[in-house]
Structure 1
Amino acid sequence: MKVVYQGGEGEIVEKKSRFIATVRPVGSEEEATAFIAEMKKKYWDARHNCSAFVIGNNQELSRCSDDGEPSQTAGRPMLDVLLREEIHNVAVVVTRYFGGTLLGTGGLVRAYQKAVQEGLANSTVIDKQPGRKLTIQTDYNGLGKIQYILAQQNIVTMDTVYTDAVELSVMVPDGAGQKLTEDITDGTGGNARFHWGEEVSFAVIDKEIKVF
């Protein structure tokens, strides 16, 4: 599930009109509404503060507002970007400072969508997924083989402890556990022990595991 881990801002200029997109993660309609009100207060002198948000693991709730722009030229195109990108629990406000030149219906749609895309590009969007922590214990002879298998299956190692044996902690996405343990068992000749943790949600951020 794609979510915004850290919000950001993006700005474009079309025919001297400034479009400032502010993106923020939200967990409820109340949070989204409060964020929109905050942006309207911050940019009180702007002509328009158009908004869109999507809430829920299945994008169950979505809302958008043209905030005075011609119908369907701002809020809906902004929402379409969020839905197309399949991002959940996110709100975006695009603030427009009018530059004196009318953009027309098509021009407005393109400008608002481009602004949202710019805002998302300057945010940290992650793919949050279910998984379980797996602790693997083995001897030094099996370490290289296990590391090779982990790399082949794109499993990120969280920690490695070296004592008289080796203990690796990894995060395994749902559905990948059986093949991983079978391959490690085969690769080490049965010289590996496994301990599974509870199911969590996680994401890989800058090659590191973040557990939620």
Structure 2
Amino acid sequence: MVNYYSIKEPIIHEIDIKKSRFITYLIPIQTEEEFNEQLATIRKKHYKATHHCQAFILNEDSSIQRMSDDGEPSGTAGVPMLEVLKRNNLTYIMAVTVRYFGGTKLGAGGLIRAYSTSVSETLNHAKLIANATQMVIELTIEYNQVDNFNYYLEQTSTPITVLDTQYTDKVSQTLALYLGDIEPVHKELIDLFSGQIEWTEIGEQTVDVPVTSTQPD
């Protein structure tokens, strides 16, 4: 079960529109205090910028949402930025778009498009994650089985996240699987290795996994 979607790590992207620079920061956050700290850092770095427009969403149900036009005409910056985050079903995320005015006014429509585009393009470069309730599995195999196991990971359409790998006298892989995938994956690996594996279900945990085209709901 997916609890929420967010981004894996901070990312920065810049676009230029009619000589104005729009620099967007997307940052994963957990609290409003963290948002304020990150915003203060960005303001300090870009202290000469004309505007520092913002939006953020918190909580699994996206119940906390804030935005600011930071001096741009009302509704032309913070709202379109927030709408991009909402449209992509993201939470625990903040967006700050820094604008260095280039001398040409864009008008209300132009500003809305500029701030929306800046956040959208930055998201296109971001690594999305799904925070999901998954079963953590410890799979232990022999060294001579590792290549076949890696090939299986490359070929399977089932989303499997390798959380950790330990090399001792054998190879222990800590895997995370959606609950509905446990039985079929176990069977496939039993068949692949003729039963010569050790499979232990550690328990359910919330795990950040990469978003794939086959992401379960």
Which ranges of structure 2 fall in alignment gaps of 5 or more residues? Answer: 211-217
- Distance (whole Å) between structure 1 residues aligned to residue 38 and residue 140 of structure 2: 47
Matching residue's letter, 1:88 = T
Residue 28 (structure 1) shift: 0.6
* Aligned-residue offset at 1:67: 1.0
Superimposed CA distance per residue, residues 145-185 of structure 1 (whole angstroms, 9 cap, x where no aligned partner): 8777664334345547685x876543222322133334445
Identity across the alignment (%): 33
What SS does the aligned partner of 1:13 have?
strand
The one-letter code of the counterpart of 1:179 is P
Q: Does 1:180 align with 2:194?
A: no
Q: Say if 2:69 and 2:75, in contact at 8 Å, map to a contact too.
A: yes
Q: Which residue of 1 aligns with 2:205?
A: 200
Residue of structure 2 in register with 1:209 after alignment: none
Count of residues paired in the alignment:
204
Instruction: Give the TM-score normalised by the residue count of structure 2.
Output: 0.77
How far the C-alpha of 1:19 sits from its partner, in A, is: 0.9
1:20 and 2:26 matched:
no
Matches within 5 A, 1:34-183: 34-136=37-139, 151-152=155-156, 153-157=158-162, 158-159=164-165, 168-183=173-188
1:72 positional shift:
1.0
1:64 and 1:146 map into 2 onto residues whose CA distance is 47
Q: Is the 8 A contact 1:11 1:115 kept in 2?
A: yes
Q: TM-score, normalised by structure 1?
A: 0.78
For the aligned residue pairs, the C-alpha RMSD in angstroms reads 3.0
Task: Give me the whole-angstrom Cα distance separating, in 1, the residues matched to 2:37 and 2:136.
Answer: 36
How far off its partner does 1:63 sit?
0.4
- Give the counterpart letter for 2:81 in structure 1: M
Question: Unaligned regions of 5+ residues in structure 1, if any?
Answer: 206-212
Secondary structure (helix, strand or coil) at the match of 2:117 reads helix
How far did 1:115 drift?
A: 1.3
TM-superposed CA distance for 1:31, in Å, is 1.2
Q: Structure 1 counterpart of 2:61, which letter?
A: N
- Cα contact 2:132–2:209 (8 A) shared by 1: no
The answer as to whether partners of 1:160 and 1:168 remain within 8 angstroms in 2 is: yes
Between Structure 1 and Structure 2, whose CA radius of gyration is higher?
A: 1
Q: Distance in 2 between matches of 1:10 and 1:182?
A: 44
What residue number does 1:11 align with?
Answer: 14
Instruction: Judge conservation of contact 2:84–2:120 (CA < 8 Å) in 1.
Output: yes
- Aligned equivalent of 1:208: none
